[in-house]
Structure 1
Amino acid sequence: MRAPLPPAELADLGLSPERMRHLVGVLQADVERGRLPGAVVVLARHGRIALMEGIGRLDPARDAPMARDAVFRIYSMTKPIVSVAVMMLIEQGRLKLADPVHLHLREYANQQLAVQTPTGVALRPVQRPATVQDLLRHTAGLTYEFLGDSAVQQMYRKEDMGTRSRSNAEFSHALAALPLMFEPGREWAYSRATDVLGRLVEVITGQPLGEHLRQAILAPLGMTDTAFVVPEADHARIAEPFAHDPDGGIPLRLIDPRETPALQSGGGGLMSTAADYARFLQFMLNKGTLGGVRLLGPRTVDFMTADHLGTIPGNDPALLPPGHGFGLGFAVRTAAGVAPMPGSVGTYHWSGIGGTSFFVDPAEQLFGIFLAQAPNQREHYRALFRTLAYAALVD
């Protein structure tokens, strides 16, 4: 397979070979005891690959080993890529961060807020409209239907906002017809906001989201295996979860990468590989450039990976841990301590509900990627991988 970045000796990158073997060994032990189906892990520092290894099986139903070029459903790791596409349009002057969403998507004019009263849910006009910045930082008042059981989340479920059978335009109109759960700008709440950004990209560019991402980002960065559907020739490379979750609980039905969806979900629809996503993260770590191609200015990357919440509170410590804020598409570390996992101030990260995660530490010139299809174990491996990666950093 094509190497995502040049390799290097571990000692030259300040990483302990013994501790790196321990990282792989811990994950391999989980494979052997049946908790992890398989994974691809990547660690890179100073622009060079320190570790890129497949562990376990590609598909628990088959005996094929996990390949480094396995294709994963990356779900919400789609969001940073779409956020970059939006910021590229902002750099081009085609929209502004402070623009009200309804300036470009008219269906979001006159949105209403759902307010719980003693007699039930009442609707009232929002005090200010949501902006493009609100969508990027998840302060637009939207939600996800699977994160709770509020009146608005019940409306999302009744409207089947998770279906992939609507086009991006149809999705946007259906969502805009529902009330907001929060006043825009008042609370950080993880949501379908990046799906709205995907539709915004289509309206601004006149292209389907997938085609625009391919032309503007994926092809220039050499991300040849990243798309909303996996072509038939690559179906044998798709990583699969356990048929029955080893920890029990309610199984998450993963999307089928072989099907062409009507919805090109900017919030969670892409499939990708370790090599492709490593190129994207190195592009971010390089502050907007890779291989002689510049897609963003360095100040824009700094702006995206700064905290944009300030005193705006978050409502989910599992998704936005203590010691973190949120930028434009990424969670951002704001304190050296406090958080339940290691990292430098300025480290940014995100993950996907299917079991994938990444982090980027500009202070250490380090990034890590963990790709697995283990939905119910995602929080465990997100923290474990980060902890083991920093333990291997010795210089």
Structure 2
Amino acid sequence: MSLSSKGLTRLRDTLARHVDNGECPGLVSVIRRRGETHVDVIGDVRRDTIFRIASMTKPVTAALAMALVEQGRLRLDDPVDELLPELADRRVLTSLDAEVDDTVPANRAITLRDLLTFRLGWGGIYAPPGTYPVQAAAAELQLGLGEGPPRPAGPPEPDEWMRRFGTLPLLHQPGERWMYHTGSEVLGVLLARATGRSLGEAMREHLFEPLGMIDTGFHVPEAQLGRLTVSYSDGKLFDAVDGQWSKPPAFEAGGGGLVSTADDYLAFATMLLANGKHGRERVLSRPAVRLMTTDHLTPGQHAADGFWPGFFGAHRGWGFGVQVVTGRDELWATPGRYGWDGGLGTSWHNDPAEDLTAILLTQRAGFLLHWPLYLDFWNGVYASLDD
């Protein structure tokens, strides 16, 4: 046994308390280590319940990009201008608090690598609305640029989305600063254009079908809506079963639009943990997975952070769509551990050194990185390791 039965019982009891006290409506957790899989289902959900996985979409979008790079259809350091002419000849704000027309020319073109590492020059601005003039300009365009939970019914179709985004100046020079979220949204449009298909169709061909992810997509088919759980925010209904994910969105959001199940996402996660293999089938090469899960940020970009002071600190970095642990400062912080969370109540990380993947799925919207449920889950996972 690679997992302690006593530790797993203690973990289940801890998770059940979070459900019983009303902190979340129900949850599914999966821990897989050295071929052993442990699943807990607590509350008003089932193992096959469909969840809105929010920003856990970002690693999937990055993996699709790596598949196309391996096929020679994209190159990491090529400018994106050919596929995204809306981003050619960028202008950059002279400062974040400048008026939107107070700009200078970009020093260089945006590349695919910039999109993957969130260094294209635009991302979430985590300040009260109205703090900076550019916030009002962006809000007026209704692009859903990352300052709140995903809302598929809001943004326009991809070409119009890119046209509107292309009217905004960059906030920083390309490659200069890590800023969250927007890189995945732009990347999704680029991948759709590169394949000549919708983002969802491209994901299905290159990832979902090879991995058997039959319940993952950008909306839930009518026949499966009974398996979609409701989502809450601040104790109130955020999205109903027949809500925003019950119909195909105009904009398939590479930064946060997917729905999935515990077993579907486990297939994706274990493929990465196996260095790109799913059973006997290779989905990505080992070098592609290693590149995707390596920290690409400079010391200055770590110091500048992207959410709040100390977000990266001395022990965290960013790969392609995933956070990467670079030093141990918590029980669960093994160097080389990677993964990401979702703002609607989801969390996933792989730990290659421990041959471990773990997933937590619930549906409570909010800024959850330090949510006690997450902390207790990951503490309990690592306390259950038995070898």
TM over 0.5: yes
Partner of 1:384: 376
- Does the 8 A contact of 1:320 with 1:331 survive in 2? no
**Which residues of 2 match residues 203-218 of structure 1 at below 5 A?**
203-218=193-208
C-alpha deviations, 1:209-264, integer Å up to 9, x for none?
1111111110110000001110111111111134x624x9xx86686221211111
- Does the 8 A contact of 1:332 with 1:349 survive in 2? yes
For residue 108 of structure 2, the aligned residue among 115, 123, 128 is: 128
What is the letter of the counterpart of residue 325 of structure 1? G
C-alpha deviations, 1:344-377, integer Å up to 9, x for none?
1000010111010101000000011010101137
**Which residues of 2 match residues 335-346 of structure 1 at below 5 A?**
335-337=327-329, 342-346=332-336
Alignment partner of 2:113: what SS? helix
Q: Work out the CA distance in 2 between the residues paired with 1:233 and 1:335.
A: 46
C-alpha deviations, 1:8-57, integer Å up to 9, x for none?
xxxx12x21111111111111121121121110010002331x2121112
Inter-CA distance 303–120: structure 2 relative to 1 (3 Å threshold): closer
Using the TM superposition, give the Cα deviation of residue 326 of structure 1 relative to its aligned residue in structure 2, in angstroms.
0.5
Partner of 1:245: 234
TM-score of the superposition, structure 2-length normalised?
A: 0.89
Q: Work out the CA distance in 2 between the residues paired with 1:119 and 1:67.
A: 50
Q: Work out the CA distance in 2 between the residues paired with 1:99 and 1:307.
A: 20
Between 254-263 and 380-389, report the one with greater CA deviation.
Answer: 254-263
Q: Work out the CA distance in 1 between the residues paired with 2:238 and 2:123.
A: 19
Inter-CA distance 387–125: structure 2 relative to 1 (3 Å threshold): same
Q: Does 1:225 align with 2:205?
A: no
- Does the 8 A contact of 2:143 with 2:155 survive in 1? no
Q: Work out the CA distance in 1 between the residues paired with 2:270 and 2:185.
A: 25
**Which residues of 2 match residues 1-395 of structure 1 at below 5 A?**
12-13=1-2, 15-49=3-37, 51-57=38-44, 66-116=45-95, 120-121=99-100, 122-144=102-124, 149=129, 150-162=132-144, 164-242=154-232, 245-246=234-235, 256-311=244-299, 312-313=301-302, 314-317=305-308, 320-322=311-313, 323-337=315-329, 342-376=332-366, 378-379=368-369, 380=371, 381-395=373-387
Between 35-44 and 170-179, report the one with greater CA deviation.
Answer: 170-179
Using the TM superposition, give the Cα deviation of residue 378 of structure 1 relative to its aligned residue in structure 2, in angstroms.
2.6
What is the letter of the counterpart of residue 55 of structure 1? I
Q: Work out the CA distance in 2 between the residues paired with 1:357 and 1:229.
A: 20
- Does the 8 A contact of 2:221 with 2:247 survive in 1? no
Alignment partner of 1:44: what SS? strand
What is the aligned-residue RMSD (CA, Å)? 2.1
Inter-CA distance 385–198: structure 2 relative to 1 (3 Å threshold): same
Using the TM superposition, give the Cα deviation of residue 383 of structure 1 relative to its aligned residue in structure 2, in angstroms.
2.4
Q: Work out the CA distance in 2 between the residues paired with 1:319 and 1:296.
A: 33
- Does the 8 A contact of 1:167 with 1:263 survive in 2? yes
What is the letter of the counterpart of residue 164 of structure 2? A
Percent identity (aligned): 35
What is the letter of the counterpart of residue 306 of structure 2? N
- Does the 8 A contact of 1:44 with 1:366 survive in 2? yes
Inter-CA distance 24–118: structure 2 relative to 1 (3 Å threshold): closer
TM-score of the superposition, structure 1-length normalised?
A: 0.88
- Does the 8 A contact of 2:218 with 2:258 survive in 1? yes
Using the TM superposition, give the Cα deviation of residue 155 of structure 1 relative to its aligned residue in structure 2, in angstroms.
1.9
Instruction: Give unmatched runs, 5+ long, in structure 2.
Output: 145-152
What is the letter of the counterpart of residue 208 of structure 2? L
Using the TM superposition, give the Cα deviation of residue 67 of structure 1 relative to its aligned residue in structure 2, in angstroms.
0.3
Alignment partner of 1:336: what SS? coil
Using the TM superposition, give the Cα deviation of residue 116 of structure 1 relative to its aligned residue in structure 2, in angstroms.
3.6
Partner of 1:5: none
- Does the 8 A contact of 2:95 with 2:171 survive in 1? no
Between 360-369 and 168-177, report the one with greater CA deviation.
Answer: 168-177
Using the TM superposition, give the Cα deviation of residue 316 of structure 1 relative to its aligned residue in structure 2, in angstroms.
1.9
Alignment partner of 2:353: what SS? coil
Q: Work out the CA distance in 2 between the residues paired with 1:271 and 1:233.
A: 15
Inter-CA distance 118–256: structure 2 relative to 1 (3 Å threshold): closer
- Does the 8 A contact of 1:289 with 1:295 survive in 2? yes
Q: How many pairs does the alignment contain?
A: 368
Between 139-148 and 174-183, report the one with greater CA deviation.
Answer: 139-148
Alignment partner of 1:219: what SS? helix
C-alpha deviations, 1:64-97, integer Å up to 9, x for none?
xx10100000011111111111111111111110
